[in-house]
Amino acid sequence: MMRNISTICGKEVRAYFTSPIAYLLMGLFGLITGFMFYSATVYFINAGTQQQMSGQGGAMSINDYVIAPLLGNAGVIGLFLVPLISMRLFAEEKRSGTIELLLTSPISDWEIILGKWLGAMVMYLAVIGMSAINVGLLFAWGTPDWRPILTGYLGLILQGATVLAIGTFISTTTKNQIIAGGSSFAICLLLWVLSWVSNYSDTWYGKAIAYCSILVHFEPFSKGIIDTKDVIFYLSAIFLGLFLTARSLESLRWRA
Amino acid sequence: MIKVEGLTKRYARHVAVNNISFEVGKGEIVGFLGKNGAGKTTTMRVLTCFLPPTSGKASVAGFDVVDQSLDVRKHIGYLPETPPLYPEMEVSGYLTFVAKLKGIASPDVAKRVGEVIERTALGSVANTIIGKLSKGYRQRVGIAQAIIHNPPVLILDEPTSGLDPEQQREARQLIASLAGDHTIILSTHILSEVEQSCSKVIIINDGQIVAVDSVANLHRRRQGGEMVAVQVAGAPEPEVRQRLELVPGVAKVIGRDAPEGSVAFEIEALEQYTVRPDLARAIVQSGWDLNELRTVGESLEEIFLDLTKSEVKPADAAPATTGATS
């Protein structure tokens, strides 16, 4: 089983890195987070200098002023880049007819799905890894607390894995990559703004809707907190996304 | 090796395959003929486990396509109508990927890929990106992926479609070279290809089988009595006609165009009679020159067109069940 999954995963990773999409996404993400990092760092240095000159208060934390906002923003940007990773997973196979090769090979649907999803995860890790350059610079010139950084990246990985699972499912529903990407993007946007419901509704269903927002569950991670309920939320959402993918793939056999 | 019983595949408002049954024996090459939309691809997709049947049963190498799908897939090599290729991959990389998917043990993958590249004459393009290959080479890569795990059953959906005559000949030779080791079902629109390559023909029309038989039997069955063409020199037309009509078993003598100095006829024999030896003897004993003596038959193309006319019902056509098993 692991061999089949790793075979498909390896093929997906090669497909990403033999096309411009990998370098485009990594470049875009690196550029945007780099700019945000630069802005936050300059602000941190200026504010810190002013505080020292005025002799007010204690030391400012680089984790609070630079790293937490950086990871928070990386989470939002990642949310919008992930559809570009997931859109081709099955839509392209359906368009080109290679889905027939996969579905007539002696491998299970779950092996195909996990292989593709893990391949997309590797691509996602390469993208968010670009922000690690910024964090590395902080370690070169200062001594930030590494624990919130680790939890922040764990949160980013879980959030990305969730959105990729949903995007993988959407990719099975169409032959058109643009439709797959656009639909995934719309759902990501929805999952982001769901948290706004808590601003004006205090009812149980308002809370329930806000609870479904992916970013709400990411915030504690970016502050260095690992809450079991957030981890369970992400794992459940990943399973749901992959389960729907499996059902969709099965229905493809009946509808093809 | 392949057994199909009462197979039906129904889509929402359309019955693609309706209650078909046939068997294919080990080592046979079977031509699957039918117009576009007749149900050939659907049947092939059911046999390769890409689609489940709505009802009926199908088995490959003794494994049921629904209940033992993974076992069936291990025993089948499949070339869909559009070869399932990844244009961004190199030929050898693609075949390595497929070899792993098909379950070839890791230490054997490189060896097997090398063997298949050699067999399909892909050596010169082994390190070329598939997207840059000609259609003929892509088709070969498609066949290479189908045989990479040396499956006992090969299902090829229009393997020569879209190729130029030279490429078609190469593809035909490649398929012919696979005979014996593999049981092959191939669908095609090129009827001469079936006559050259296949030991048996399945003709499907509107989702129903209208004939299952060998090419020779189809000719014989459609034709009734033997038809023989003769060309004779050295005698006037009425005299030759009169003599030929006296040969036992001759039902009808029909004149046809002939070069100057000779006469030509098409002779229809009664069923059960083989008239060629007697015709030859009669002509030679009369002291005439026998320039031509050959059996003529309805071409497979005519048989195919006749059987797949929309008004033909399976019950009216050649009995599919008589030759349905082998």
Closest Cβ–Cβ partner in B50, B76, B101 for A7: B101
In this complex, which of B85, B88, B97 lies closest to A18 when CB atoms are compared?
B88
User: Does residue B322 form part of some domain?
Assistant: no
Task: Give the pLDDT confidence score for residue B110 in this predicted structure.
Answer: 94
- If interface means Cβ-Cβ distance under 8 Å, which residues of chain A face chain B? 3-4, 7-8, 11, 14-15, 18-19, 96-108, 253-254, 256
- Sheet of B15-24: strands edge to edge? B15-24, B2-10, B55-60, B63-64
DSSP A59: P
Residue B213, beta-bridge partner list? B201
Tens of pLDDT along A71-118? 888 888 888 889 999 999 999 999 999 999 999 999 999 999 999 999
Choose between B295 and B17: higher pLDDT. Answer: B17
Cα–Cα dist B206/B16, whole Å: 7
Instruction: Judge if B185 and B257 occupy the same domain.
Output: no
* CB pair distance less than 8 Å for A15 and B84: no
Residues B26 and B170 in one domain: yes
Whether residue B99 has pLDDT greater than 70:
yes
B313 in a domain, yes or no? no
Q: What value does the CA radius of gyration of chain A take, rounded to a whole number of Å? A: 20
Name every chain A residue with its beta carbon within 8 A of the beta carbon of B86.
Answer: 11, 15, 96, 98
Residue ranges making up the domain that contains B165: 2-220+302-307
Same domain membership, residue B167 and residue B96: yes
**Residue A208's pLDDT is what?**
83
Q: Specify if B326 maps to a domain.
A: no
Summarised one tens digit per residue, pLDDT across range B56-87 is 999 998 899 988 999 999 999 999 989 999 99
A157, A125 contact by CB (below 8 A): yes
Work out the average pLDDT over A185-196: 85
- CATH number where B246 lies: 3.30.70.3190
Q: Are B100 and B248 within one domain? A: no
Report the residue of chain A nearest B47, measured CA to CA. A104
In chain B the first and final C-alpha atoms are separated, in Å, by 10
pLDDT over threshold 60, residue B20: yes
Please report the pLDDT score of residue B299 as a whole number: 65
Confidence bin at A256 (pLDDT 50/70/90):
low
State the total domains in chain B. Answer: 2
Residue B320 resides in a domain: no
Residue pair A172/A252 in contact by the 8 Å Cβ criterion: yes
Q: Is B280 found in the same domain as B170? A: no
Both B213 and B235 in one domain: the answer is no
B317 band by pLDDT with thresholds 50, 70 and 90: very low
What is the least distance, in Å, from the CA of A82 to any CA of chain B? Answer: 22
For chain A, give the number of residues: 256
Interface test with B, best of A5, A100, A102 (most B CBs within 10 A): A100
Provide the pLDDT for residue A99: 93
Span B28-59, pLDDT tens digits: 889 888 888 888 899 999 999 999 999 999 99
What CA–CA distances, in Å, run from B308 to B39, B182, B188, B192?
A: 12, 29, 15, 17
Specify the residue for token string 């029309």.
B205
> Quick one: DSSP state of residue B76?
E
**What residues of chain B lie within 8 A of the CB of A249, using their CB?**
none
B262 in the same domain as B127 = no
Contact between residue B274 and residue B226 where contact means Cβ atoms under 8 Å apart: yes
- Residue A23 pLDDT > 90, yes or no? yes
pLDDT at A172: 94
Query: Are B212 and B229 members of one domain?
Result: no
Minimal C-alpha gap between B17 and chain A (Å): 14
Decide if pLDDT at B323 tops 60.
Answer: no
Chain A neighbors of B87, CB-CB under 8 A: 96
Q: What is the pLDDT of residues B157-203, one digit of tens each?
A: 988 877 778 878 887 888 888 877 789 998 887 777 777 778 888 98
3-state helix, strand, coil in chain A (%, to 5): 85, 0, 15
CB contact under 8 A, A107 and B101: yes
Q: Residues A2, A109: contact at Cβ < 8 Å?
A: no
Chain A residues close to B73, C-beta within 8 Å? 104-106
Instruction: Give, in degrees to the nearest 5, the angle at Cα B234 between B229 and B240.
Output: 50
Out of B45, B103, B145, the one facing A106 most closely (by C-beta) is: B103
Contacts of B10 in chain A (CB under 8 A): none
Hey, how many other C-beta atoms are within 10 angstroms of the C-beta on A245? Answer: 28
B71 contacts in A (CB within 8 Å)?
106
Which pLDDT score is estimated for B310?
A: 53
Among B101, B102, B106, the residue to mutate for chain A (most A Cβ within 10 A): B101
Give percent of chain A above pLDDT 70.
97
- Distance, CA of B29 to CA of B44 (rounded, Å): 14
Domains in chain A: boundaries: 2-255
Give the residue from A101, A102, A253 with the most B CB atoms within 10 Å of its CB, the best one to mutate: A101
Shared domain check, B27 and B72: yes
Look up the CATH number of the domain holding residue B124: 3.40.50.300
Checking if the pLDDT of B315 tops 60, the result is no
Contact A100 B86 (CB under 8 A): no
Q: Per-residue pLDDT for A144 more than 60? A: yes
Q: Within this chain, do residues B108 and B227 fall inside the same structural domain, yes or no?
A: no
Mean pLDDT of B111-136: 91
A131-140, B10-19, B223-232: which has the minimum mean pLDDT? B223-232
